[in-house]
A and B are shown apart, each in its own frame.
Chain A
Amino acid sequence: MATSSKDNIHTISVYVANKPGVLVRCAQVFARRAYNIDALVVSPGLNPKYSRMTITASGDPAILDQIIKQTAKLIDVLHVFEHTSTDAVDREYALMKVKVKSPASKAAIKKLIKNRAHVLDDSEGALILGQSGTTEECDVLEAQLNKYGIIEMVRSGKLVMARGKEPT
């Protein structure tokens, strides 16, 4: 995940025509300017002719303006917006596979995650937990579960939606 400072992390929503190669074209704009893509979610839009890409990227904010313009210029891109928590809501989903060493530690884990995550799988020696929340909430739980030993983690990356009637 992100290695850069929090100030330099940006959430960008790209609305694209669902055509072959559009993902690579967008990714190339970021790569060419040495911008790291930390997370990327692509899903069909309300109208399946279009797709939504939510990109979490880190790098110099001065370069981002240029990257947004160069992405918007791509033929298959309808629009590009950078979103912040003031103009949009965001959530992500995290799956965490945590080591279970004893019945006592299982109970402790379950207590720890109460109201924050669900147990999706309870197998011998490991629990799979699912959490939906803000990136920060997922980060916090991840840190807390670390002491039990996280075997694997899969995170969806940020999903973002503009507040009010504004388009995302």
Chain B
Amino acid sequence: MLLCGFFKFEKSGSDFTMTVKKAKSKKKTVAKVKELTGAEALVKCLEDFGVEYIWGLSGGAAIPIFDALVGSKIKLVLVRHEQGATHIADGYARATGKPGVVLVTSGPGATNTVTGIMTANMDSIPMIVLTGQTISPMLGKDAFQESDIFGITMPVVKHSYLVKKTNDIPRVIKEAFHITNTGRPGPVLIDLPKDITSAPFTGKSLNPSMDLPGYKIASKGNLSDIKKMAKMFKGAKRPLLLVGHGAVLSRAGDAVAKLARKLNSPVTNTLLGKGEFPETDPLSLGMLGMHGTAYANKALTRCDVICSIGSRWDDRINGDTKKFCVGAKKLHIDIDPAEIKKIVQPDASCVGDARLIVEELVKFVEPCDTKEWLDECKFYKKEFPLKFDNKKGLTAQYVLHELQNLTKGKAIISTDVGQHQMWSAQFNFSIKGQKWLSSGGAGTMGYGFPAALGAQFGCPKDLVVAVVGDGGFQMTLCELATMAINKLPVKVLILDNKYLGMVRQWQELFFDNRYSGVDLEGNPDFIKLADAYGIKGVHIDKVSQVNKRLKEAIDYKGPVVIHAEILKEDNVFPMIPAGKSAYEMIIEPPTTKLEKPTGST
């Protein structure tokens, strides 16, 4: 209800306590404004944090918040499934560095976000997930569409809130934005009971102080730790820099390049570290690990010092910790102290922001004599190149190779999970950080397509390509509507081998060709599917069509679905079987049956 009389906003920040002058008495009284609901205060806070988009799906318990978004400068994008909203927010965050914001309702609306939250958490992605909740008096009473989303998501969030007082909303939002994108980023969930968002906001300020006494952020590294690391490079003959996602998140690329050039050290990167140090640089060995380049993995077995810059020595690159870089000194830079010694026992380590630490480290290292080492790496590159041939039919590798020729690493590439993801990582060289979006830790099928939409929302001028398999694409393809309605000119490249290819590969190599649960019989006609949404379709099934049709799709100013039918049974090589070390890498297709892997996947 508006107060009668003359009032004005106080000047201090977004404190909107009003001074009311009663006309007759001229006596000043301060009254709390009752015109904002909790939901309106929430939206105002989001606006103040510069939120451009909210991706969401409405529902009863969240209606007050959706209502508050009417007329807001934040653009609300209605998705078709809540999981899509989380992946879109994730893609937006990876491409822009800004947290993505998701808004869903209670119960199933909230639980549908769990996969996306877990995906973001595994890859340290900033994201705010707002969930509607039943009214507070009904909490814990199995109310309609009640789910304990605060409890359900606890193991997969960086932090979470169940808001119990309307006046707490601004503080919670401020803390959430602070937590989600500082230190090691991660998703924050805020559960908002409907009575809390409907009630009047009577707090004093929309910009209150935070109350986070336990939240510590490491930024600059300890100088003595940095000096100790620098000493480890002294006399090294075969140094190797390992660039991980932490380097991308802290934008450490320039510092890494300086370090590599000063040390004369080759550089390899994880799946999520792609691009922060250009993969086209002569010092780059590309991606290492299970399906990394043979030359990166060979280098891994030969290095005498390895320095991880924001990678967590994940089991994709370190299947057998006992045989990981045997004899090499191991250095570890990570912003998360809980990562130090988790997998690898480092000889020296430093906790803090990758960019700040590497910038400092550069000052203390001396050039290494690596001429022989660089020659050795060159030899590996020449001897064990990535290869493919189209003799048996059109390969995914060839399509991706042509995509690389057309985009030259300038496009934002978002992949799904499986064989196509690994081939794309191998053949699409990244030259800049934040241009490679892929679910690394979680391996979430269905991620690639919506994440590409998020990247396009955040970077409207960039060429965004979603490289997906026929399996994963079908998990979130309902977002074709979101792509069409919002006219997002994303190019969706479906590499269709009519199989869940990665599992099929395992069954072929390790399980005597006993295919089980991998045949995607009944795939739709993807071109007709696109057409049903009013989206242009481009079909490829011959080697000779690839370049021309990819170009046609890229040049088209609007969304495109490219349906590339590829060789059904092809395998990703090189391959380090799960649980094995880089010493046991398989470069060529094996001629004998392999023993079953000891590692999980």
Q: Which residues of A contact B (CB under 8 A)?
A: 16-17, 20-21, 24-25, 28, 32, 49-50, 65-66, 69-70, 72-78
Does any Cβ of A come within 8 Å of B590's Cβ?
Answer: no
Check A16 against B151 for contact (C-beta < 8 Å): no
A-B Cβ contacts below 8 A, count: 44
Distance of A27 from chain B, by nearest CB (Å): 10
Task: With A25-B154, A32-B155, A75-B158 as known contacts, state yes or no: A17 contacts B341, CB within 8 Å.
Answer: no
Instruction: Name 16 extra pairs, CB < 8 A, besides A21-B151, A32-B155, A75-B179.
Output: A16-B214, A17-B212, A17-B213, A20-B162, A21-B150, A21-B154, A21-B162, A25-B154, A28-B154, A66-B342, A72-B337, A73-B336, A73-B337, A75-B212, A76-B214, A77-B214
Q: Which residue of B lies closest to A22 (CB)?
A: B214
Check B214 against A78 for contact (C-beta < 8 Å): yes
Does any Cβ of A come within 8 Å of B159's Cβ?
Answer: yes
Q: Which residue of A lies closest to B150 (CB)?
A: A21
Q: Which residues of B contact A (CB under 8 A)?
A: 150-151, 154-155, 158-160, 162, 164, 179, 211-215, 336-338, 340-342
| Residues of chain B with a CB closer than 8 A to A65's CB | 341
**Alpha-carbon distance between A72 and B351 when the two chains are bound, in angstroms:** 14
Distance of B428 from chain A, by nearest CB (Å): 34
**Alpha-carbon distance between A66 and B343 when the two chains are bound, in angstroms:** 10
| Residues of chain B with a CB closer than 8 A to A49's CB | 213
**Alpha-carbon distance between A20 and B162 when the two chains are bound, in angstroms:** 8
Q: Which residue of A lies closest to B184 (CB)?
A: A73
| Residues of chain B with a CB closer than 8 A to A17's CB | 211-214
**Alpha-carbon distance between A151 and B530 when the two chains are bound, in angstroms:** 72
| Residues of chain A with a CB closer than 8 A to B179's CB | 75
| Residues of chain A with a CB closer than 8 A to B158's CB | 75
Check B338 against A74 for contact (C-beta < 8 Å): no
| Residues of chain B with a CB closer than 8 A to A72's CB | 337-338
Check B338 against A28 for contact (C-beta < 8 Å): no
Task: With A75-B212, A77-B214, A78-B213 as known contacts, state yes or no: A21 contacts B160, CB within 8 Å.
Answer: yes
Q: Which residue of B lies closest to A77 (CB)?
A: B214
| Residues of chain B with a CB closer than 8 A to A70's CB | 338
Check A24 against B151 for contact (C-beta < 8 Å): yes
| Residues of chain B with a CB closer than 8 A to A69's CB | 337-338, 340
Distance of A159 from chain B, by nearest CB (Å): 22
Q: Which residue of A lies closest to B158 (CB)?
A: A75
**Alpha-carbon distance between A73 and B155 when the two chains are bound, in angstroms:** 13
Partner of B214, one of A24, A28, A75: A75
Check B155 against A74 for contact (C-beta < 8 Å): no
| Residues of chain A with a CB closer than 8 A to B160's CB | 21
**Alpha-carbon distance between A155 and B519 when the two chains are bound, in angstroms:** 58
Distance of A125 from chain B, by nearest CB (Å): 40
Distance of A124 from chain B, by nearest CB (Å): 41
| Residues of chain B with a CB closer than 8 A to A50's CB | 213
Q: Which residue of A lies closest to B340 (CB)?
A: A69
Distance of A18 from chain B, by nearest CB (Å): 10
| Residues of chain A with a CB closer than 8 A to B340's CB | 69
Distance of A30 from chain B, by nearest CB (Å): 12
Task: With A16-B214, A20-B162, A78-B213 as known contacts, state yes or no: A73 contacts B151, CB within 8 Å.
Answer: no
| Residues of chain B with a CB closer than 8 A to A20's CB | 162, 164
Distance of A76 from chain B, by nearest CB (Å): 5
Distance of A61 from chain B, by nearest CB (Å): 13
Can you list 19 pairs linking A and B with CB atoms under 8 Å apart?
A: A16-B214, A17-B213, A20-B162, A20-B164, A28-B154, A49-B213, A50-B213, A66-B338, A72-B337, A73-B337, A73-B338, A74-B214, A75-B158, A75-B159, A75-B212, A75-B214, A76-B214, A78-B213, A78-B214
**Alpha-carbon distance between A17 and B341 when the two chains are bound, in angstroms:** 27
| Residues of chain A with a CB closer than 8 A to B150's CB | 21
Q: Which residue of B lies closest to A76 (CB)?
A: B214
**Alpha-carbon distance between A152 and B162 when the two chains are bound, in angstroms:** 38
| Residues of chain A with a CB closer than 8 A to B341's CB | 65-66
| Residues of chain A with a CB closer than 8 A to B162's CB | 20-21
Distance of A22 from chain B, by nearest CB (Å): 9
| Residues of chain B with a CB closer than 8 A to A73's CB | 336-338
| Residues of chain B with a CB closer than 8 A to A66's CB | 338, 341-342
Check B154 against A75 for contact (C-beta < 8 Å): no
| Residues of chain A with a CB closer than 8 A to B215's CB | 75
Give the top 6 A-B pairs by smallest Cβ distance, nearest first.
Answer: A69-B338, A75-B159, A78-B214, A70-B338, A77-B214, A76-B214
**Alpha-carbon distance between A54 and B212 when the two chains are bound, in angstroms:** 21
**Alpha-carbon distance between A32 and B340 when the two chains are bound, in angstroms:** 18
| Residues of chain A with a CB closer than 8 A to B342's CB | 66
| Residues of chain B with a CB closer than 8 A to A77's CB | 214
**Alpha-carbon distance between A28 and B160 when the two chains are bound, in angstroms:** 14
**Alpha-carbon distance between A74 and B213 when the two chains are bound, in angstroms:** 11
**Alpha-carbon distance between A104 and B327 when the two chains are bound, in angstroms:** 72
| Residues of chain B with a CB closer than 8 A to A74's CB | 214
**Alpha-carbon distance between A74 and B216 when the two chains are bound, in angstroms:** 9
**Alpha-carbon distance between A132 and B155 when the two chains are bound, in angstroms:** 37
Of B162, B179, B336, B338, most buried by chain A (CB within 10 Å of CB) is B338
Distance of B179 from chain A, by nearest CB (Å): 6
**Alpha-carbon distance between A110 and B150 when the two chains are bound, in angstroms:** 51
Q: Which residue of A lies closest to B212 (CB)?
A: A75
**Alpha-carbon distance between A18 and B56 when the two chains are bound, in angstroms:** 32
**Alpha-carbon distance between A149 and B338 when the two chains are bound, in angstroms:** 47
**Alpha-carbon distance between A17 and B175 when the two chains are bound, in angstroms:** 14
Distance of A32 from chain B, by nearest CB (Å): 7
Distance of B131 from chain A, by nearest CB (Å): 15
Distance of A28 from chain B, by nearest CB (Å): 6
Distance of B182 from chain A, by nearest CB (Å): 11
Q: Which residue of A lies closest to B188 (CB)?
A: A75
**Alpha-carbon distance between A50 and B212 when the two chains are bound, in angstroms:** 12
**Alpha-carbon distance between A74 and B155 when the two chains are bound, in angstroms:** 11
**Alpha-carbon distance between A76 and B214 when the two chains are bound, in angstroms:** 5
| Residues of chain A with a CB closer than 8 A to B336's CB | 73
Distance of B184 from chain A, by nearest CB (Å): 8
Check B337 against A28 for contact (C-beta < 8 Å): no
Check B154 against A24 for contact (C-beta < 8 Å): yes
**Alpha-carbon distance between A70 and B341 when the two chains are bound, in angstroms:** 12
**Alpha-carbon distance between A73 and B216 when the two chains are bound, in angstroms:** 8
Distance of A43 from chain B, by nearest CB (Å): 17
Distance of B145 from chain A, by nearest CB (Å): 21
Q: Which residue of B lies closest to A16 (CB)?
A: B214
| Residues of chain A with a CB closer than 8 A to B154's CB | 21, 24-25, 28
| Residues of chain A with a CB closer than 8 A to B212's CB | 17, 75
Q: Which residue of A lies closest to B162 (CB)?
A: A20
Distance of B209 from chain A, by nearest CB (Å): 14
**Alpha-carbon distance between A32 and B179 when the two chains are bound, in angstroms:** 23
**Alpha-carbon distance between A45 and B520 when the two chains are bound, in angstroms:** 59
Q: Which residue of B lies closest to A70 (CB)?
A: B338
Distance of B19 from chain A, by nearest CB (Å): 33
**Alpha-carbon distance between A72 and B159 when the two chains are bound, in angstroms:** 13
Distance of B447 from chain A, by nearest CB (Å): 24
Of A32, A49, A75, most buried by chain B (CB within 10 Å of CB) is A75
